[in-house]
Structure 1
């Protein structure tokens, strides 16, 4: 090929190779040391020029709208890809991810159970709580509680109140025959060497909280349990009871109601004792040895207690319906809330010489008993046989302190509250109340471990140690009155630990709304080391899963009966057949008694800490509120059928009453067996939906489920409060709940549909009609709510 031909060929290709030939030349030149920097400059200038040229060309020819469409289409394709291939999630998981909660409910249960089953500090806590006298306002148990909670990483809040209380100065009881003292009671128990706590030298003489001061010397009578039936029997048999000191045995009625009845029937004072007969099978008379040698009650045991009228009005008697937040809080007279006559508790041993003088006088009263040498005659004693009762008490304003631990939740409402009071009548109080105090600290330990693992509960949890529980539920009542409106909006449940461990038989008392969740929690609760099965198995074997009603004397009273907050209480209590007698409120209720006769290795304490904690975790970790409405209305319907029959029997010819009563019955039947069953079924389905996985592009389904969840939870939160009345019960306006209230006549028991029942007891036609109308309105409102 000729040189000219070659040169022509190179010239033709030169435009095509333009930049590339230049780049190649510069690359070769760059390898020459003498020309490196100019070559790089030329390369950068050419590249920038090329980019600008390309951008200007695109800018001129590209339509802006089309460019926007292109961006949107790309974004849509990206989201579609993510939606199609991203992991499927449930609403339950999403709620936790949004709030940075790293634990599933299964992991929460596992960590809590491991924490409590691997260690048990209940015995250590119980000994520290019962090492010295710790009455209302005591600083020692307050400091211990706060210290232990801080060790667990909590920052407890201290909430103080200033109630009006009574404190003992002196109590005396003496028997006079012919103006000579023949017996002088010590009003103290005997020290037993095997139980160091029983020998506390600063123990006071036995007294009744809120008893009136007085100095009485008079004849006396025996009034059995001091019930209205007992007094009616005495009057029907012509026994002169007016102006006498009435000797009454504990049992069947609240102590305050016994004194209230004695006042009503003209007593000048009351002596109250515990008859071993009421301990059941485990008595000295039946061959059992007394404590500490055996399980029977020590004969010098004295049951202290409060004589405030707590089934009418708990809390500070001078601030009815509002809290005593300051020492200078305006106060009302306590008249009508505490007795006006003096009363003193005494032992079976020291009441014997007094009662023995009544033999053959008056009439035999009651079914007998086990007081040595006494044949259970009513008296009165002869004119020359008199008893002196001297009671001096000092009334004052003192400071009490509730200790509150708050664990924030993902939701800000629907609080689960767990509480127990820590004050006691003596240096003991191991069974009542400090077994519950020890359990409460163990629950706190389990939840502290959860927090270390990054737990954030779905709903808030509050752990509360009340003060002043023994005198008249002071701490819990003042707290409820102080936070009433907030609690109505936010509190979901209150769980109580009063007298948690006093025997071997598990018992549960609760609002029926909580029945199902407690049974489920019992399935997670092992007995002992797990080889004995679960608490659920034992509960079913012993009582067929019996769920009792709440009674009338515990710190759940202000929550359930005043605010309509569903409550529950868990206990291992005396089985009435072989368990040691519980020395309530005496100096023998000690950790020595606990370890020797009740819970040697504190396994029952551990079991109750697991059950209570698991119940609270199931309530706070499940998205739908785990209430079951049907058992609640089934209970209401059962009791209404009973009172309905009494309406028909008492007022057979009153057409208006009969028609109204039947309308209530029809509506209640419909709600019980239609709306509540359907509502519970829908909530079970909603729970399944909350845990069902959906693809990302199905996010709208989760929004719909979330809205259903909020509506269902809001309805369940309202149900119990829909049975509150502004007027309260007749003569007991503080008791607002129309379904449950402490029994008016006994105080200990619960009364179901109390307003209606009390009107029937009083044969009050207008009262019956009013309560039927109230119930009809409330049931109709609930029916509308559930639909």
Structure 2
């Protein structure tokens, strides 16, 4: 049948019926137009009635004019909440999230942990083995401080310290750093078979245990030395807590002695390295990440009678770095020829369930998520500073954002609050969930913001991935600093910190996000500065009384932290173009690169040619025996795009107007290390130029979005897809710095720019692959890592240029 005869006439008017094919096309176009309409409408490209961003910010800040941080602090410090305990706090946190409009859930992990059972420490007279001093191994109860009293106090202990009962001579080993034990060896002081006594500071406590064990020690004591209290001591006229700001002499710093970021180790459950501790997980030997020798923490009052017996024994190191301010001790190394120590540690090791609590406000862009995290577990009943100043701040943020949601505001990006368990033991809750949700997080998360001790003083500290520096500064400019005459929070930061936002290392929950998953992260809070009271870190005196009477009266800085973080979250969520500055990152890369290159030994720069084997390591095997096609019709070079030295590629004509480019292995051996170092520097400078242009494009797209009302319908559709593509490049920018093999001997750490120091734990390192090769004197590995860095930088440059 003829197509036209199949149509019925239109009853109204004389309009002729359209052919079926035309109607189909019209239907498709109409459907596409409707879909496009809802698409751009959902993404705010078509104006709808909603609260303006200025009004939204006002709702957040007005809500926080009522300050409830002290109430939350009192709640969280009222009961012990060691990792894997106090399910009541788990439920209460979930209920608070729900109360403020978040969709809440509890996520569990079965993790290998230890709990205190018994301990003892005795100073013995060597000749008779009689006990001349027994350390109490407990802190004083203080009448003014209710948290320091009662029968529910957690004993002084170091989690993951091995069980054991050892007796031997003992030596003073300063901070217990790698170089400190090397110094003792150089001086002829043998640590093997002895108990090491070290002071807190310098490096993570777990690495003190590792280095003591590596040098043959049979046990270790760790104490807090008044010399590390920045002059706030009794010797300088300050009274002890609770009568003044100086450290209470019986205070003991508990903590974990997991190796964290040391060689061969990783954070998280030590029995499931690199994969989550869910039921049925295969368990491995944990001793790659935890020690085999017993360890105890001790106060400076308790260690004094022990260290005094070393006076004049062994060698006295005439170096300020080796000398603290413990009264009555001359800081001789020992050992003593008259006294020994007996150290006993007994803990219960088991697989315990740990509980993370999550709260979510779903945004319009469900594949763009901002996570704000804080851990909930504490070593003591209190933990007012660590972690509960952060926990109180997190609830205040929930309350402020919940008020905004209740007003009818629609968030652009999803906001997720996370309360972790087990951070203190080794970043357990955050690491395990990061490993469990790894692919989802890498696909969806825009940024991670970390709260640990959000308030233990009044000086703002900021550490972050450089892409976040701009937004951290911008939000600080919008808030007033509480002290009269200072100006904005940013003015305070410039005055006290020189506007310096530091690099991230480890020691808190951002580690898995940045260094394993490549998610831009920031860690922030108000800490100690000049004149601030000593913070009783991990001690019974980190209490509600201490924080409310000494650190933050009226919880003013808790409140400021909540306002500051809420503004950062809002800016990250609501800016249409993800508000990162890639140029800040590339600029810092040049600085980091210069710092590491300055460490390279001069003799590495001698004009010796690089061997073929070393050059292949530089290529990291990605280009070995491969062919690269050049299409002469469009000038596209795969080889020139990625190969570091295109001039060494020889073209060979073949069929179908193609050119096969082969590696000329006979003419590259005139390359020296200087060539490779300069090549990487050129790549970094090119990336700086490209990111500068990229940031300009971000600004242009944001301006177009802000002026969207002037655009035609189809221009809005085009802009939608331009923004979507551009935002994905921004969102995944940090992921590009992940190297699938990870760092040398630390494969869990995937980031080639940022990692915790393998000999420090807390302190961050930049370009760790290069830096560690220099530290180890490994020339070939340094060349290999130059290739990894250069190729990564070049690949990113190409992506941002397309």
> Which of the five TM-score ranges fits, normalised by the shorter chain?
0.7 to 0.9
Please name the residue that 2:276 is paired with: 323
Note the C-alpha offset of 1:61.
12
In 2, distance between residues paired with 1:786 and 1:468?
Answer: 39
In 2, distance between residues paired with 1:61 and 1:430?
Answer: 79
Please name the residue that 1:213 is paired with: 163
In 1, distance between residues paired with 2:12 and 2:107?
Answer: 75
Please name the residue that 1:151 is paired with: 99
Please name the residue that 1:658 is paired with: 674
Find the residue that maps to 1:322 and give its secondary structure: coil
Counterpart pick for 2:523 among 566, 569, 572: 569
Please name the residue that 2:410 is paired with: 456
Give the length in aligned residue pairs.
707
The 10-residue stretch of structure 1 (236-245 or 480-489) with the greater mean CA deviation from structure 2: 236-245
Q: CA RMSD, aligned part only?
A: 2.4
Whether 1:415 aligns to 2:352 is no
In 1, distance between residues paired with 2:566 and 2:219?
Answer: 45
User: Residues 653-679 of structure 1: CA distance to partner in whole angstroms, max 9, x if unpaired?
Assistant: 24432211111111111211x111111
User: Residues 41-72 of structure 1: CA distance to partner in whole angstroms, max 9, x if unpaired?
Assistant: xxxxxxxxxxxxxxxxx99996433999xxx9
In 1, distance between residues paired with 2:526 and 2:593?
Answer: 31
Note the C-alpha offset of 1:99.
10
Note the C-alpha offset of 1:548.
1.2
Counterpart pick for 2:218 among 268, 276, 295: 268
Find the residue that maps to 2:271 and give its secondary structure: coil
Note the C-alpha offset of 1:525.
2.3
Please name the residue that 1:371 is paired with: 326
Note the C-alpha offset of 1:364.
1.5
Contact conserved, 1:227 with 1:253, CA < 8 A, in 2? yes
Q: 1:153 to 1:682 in 2, by over 3 A?
A: closer
In 2, distance between residues paired with 1:375 and 1:390?
Answer: 27
Contact conserved, 1:134 with 1:140, CA < 8 A, in 2? no
Please name the residue that 1:702 is paired with: 716
Counterpart pick for 1:301 among 248, 251, 259: 251
Counterpart pick for 2:471 among 517, 536, 548: 517
In 1, distance between residues paired with 2:439 and 2:343?
Answer: 45
In 1, distance between residues paired with 2:375 and 2:508?
Answer: 9
Counterpart pick for 1:120 among 64, 67, 85: 67
In 1, distance between residues paired with 2:334 and 2:47?
Answer: 72
User: Residues 498-530 of structure 1: CA distance to partner in whole angstroms, max 9, x if unpaired?
Assistant: 111111111111111000111111122233499
Note the C-alpha offset of 1:345.
0.3
Contact conserved, 1:96 with 1:102, CA < 8 A, in 2? no
In 2, distance between residues paired with 1:488 and 1:284?
Answer: 50
Counterpart pick for 2:231 among 258, 281, 290: 281
Q: 1:709 to 1:67 in 2, by over 3 A?
A: closer
Note the C-alpha offset of 1:767.
0.7
User: Residues 356-397 of structure 1: CA distance to partner in whole angstroms, max 9, x if unpaired?
Assistant: 000001111352212221000000121x41111000111101
Q: Structure 1: state its 5+ residue gaps.
A: 1-57, 80-88
In 2, distance between residues paired with 1:94 and 1:147?
Answer: 31
Whether 1:772 aligns to 2:725 is no
Contact conserved, 2:98 with 2:359, CA < 8 A, in 1? no
Please name the residue that 2:687 is paired with: 671
Please name the residue that 2:16 is paired with: 65
Please name the residue that 2:571 is paired with: 618
Please name the residue that 2:581 is paired with: 628
Counterpart pick for 1:165 among 97, 102, 113: 113
The 10-residue stretch of structure 1 (149-158 or 278-287) with the greater mean CA deviation from structure 2: 149-158
Contact conserved, 2:80 with 2:154, CA < 8 A, in 1? no
Note the C-alpha offset of 1:284.
1.1
Please name the residue that 1:359 is paired with: 311
The 10-residue stretch of structure 1 (417-426 or 523-532) with the greater mean CA deviation from structure 2: 523-532
Contact conserved, 2:423 with 2:509, CA < 8 A, in 1? yes
Please name the residue that 1:689 is paired with: 704
Please name the residue that 1:50 is paired with: none
Please name the residue that 1:106 is paired with: 54
Find the residue that maps to 2:599 and give its secondary structure: helix
Q: Structure 2: state its 5+ residue gaps.
A: 1-8, 31-36, 610-671
Find the residue that maps to 2:267 and give its secondary structure: coil
Please name the residue that 2:426 is paired with: 472
In 2, distance between residues paired with 1:632 and 1:695?
Answer: 34
Contact conserved, 2:122 with 2:134, CA < 8 A, in 1? yes
Contact conserved, 1:359 with 1:377, CA < 8 A, in 2? yes
Find the residue that maps to 1:398 and give its secondary structure: strand
Q: 1:63 to 1:529 in 2, by over 3 A?
A: farther
In 2, distance between residues paired with 1:627 and 1:143?
Answer: 36
Q: 1:381 to 1:104 in 2, by over 3 A?
A: same
In 2, distance between residues paired with 1:137 and 1:121?
Answer: 27
Q: 1:134 to 1:99 in 2, by over 3 A?
A: farther
Please name the residue that 1:251 is paired with: 201
Q: Which has the higher helix share?
A: 1
In 1, distance between residues paired with 2:771 and 2:760?
Answer: 14
Note the C-alpha offset of 1:94.
6.8
Please name the residue that 1:394 is paired with: 348
Please name the residue that 1:727 is paired with: 741
Whether 1:132 aligns to 2:79 is yes
TM-score by length of 2: 0.85
In 1, distance between residues paired with 2:401 and 2:785?
Answer: 44
Counterpart pick for 1:336 among 283, 288, 298: 288
Find the residue that maps to 1:247 and give its secondary structure: strand
Note the C-alpha offset of 1:636.
1.1
User: Residues 219-255 of structure 1: CA distance to partner in whole angstroms, max 9, x if unpaired?
Assistant: 1000011112211221111112210000010100111
Note the C-alpha offset of 1:786.
1.2
Please name the residue that 1:680 is paired with: 695
Contact conserved, 1:647 with 1:661, CA < 8 A, in 2? no
Contact conserved, 1:101 with 1:454, CA < 8 A, in 2? no
User: Residues 516-554 of structure 1: CA distance to partner in whole angstroms, max 9, x if unpaired?
Assistant: 111111122233499864312222232232211123210
In 2, distance between residues paired with 1:152 and 1:256?
Answer: 39
Counterpart pick for 1:716 among 723, 730, 737: 730
In 2, distance between residues paired with 1:483 and 1:369?
Answer: 45
Q: 1:281 to 1:61 in 2, by over 3 A?
A: closer
Find the residue that maps to 2:16 and give its secondary structure: helix
Contact conserved, 1:171 with 1:205, CA < 8 A, in 2? no
Q: 1:480 to 1:259 in 2, by over 3 A?
A: same
In 2, distance between residues paired with 1:546 and 1:485?
Answer: 33
Q: 1:157 to 1:759 in 2, by over 3 A?
A: same
In 2, distance between residues paired with 1:61 and 1:617?
Answer: 55
Note the C-alpha offset of 1:93.
7.8
In 2, distance between residues paired with 1:322 and 1:350?
Answer: 41
Contact conserved, 1:101 with 1:456, CA < 8 A, in 2? no
Note the C-alpha offset of 1:154.
3.1
Q: 1:60 to 1:725 in 2, by over 3 A?
A: closer
Contact conserved, 2:518 with 2:737, CA < 8 A, in 1? yes
In 2, distance between residues paired with 1:690 and 1:483?
Answer: 33
Contact conserved, 2:199 with 2:223, CA < 8 A, in 1? yes
Contact conserved, 1:187 with 1:206, CA < 8 A, in 2? yes
Q: 1:319 to 1:174 in 2, by over 3 A?
A: same
Find the residue that maps to 2:350 and give its secondary structure: strand
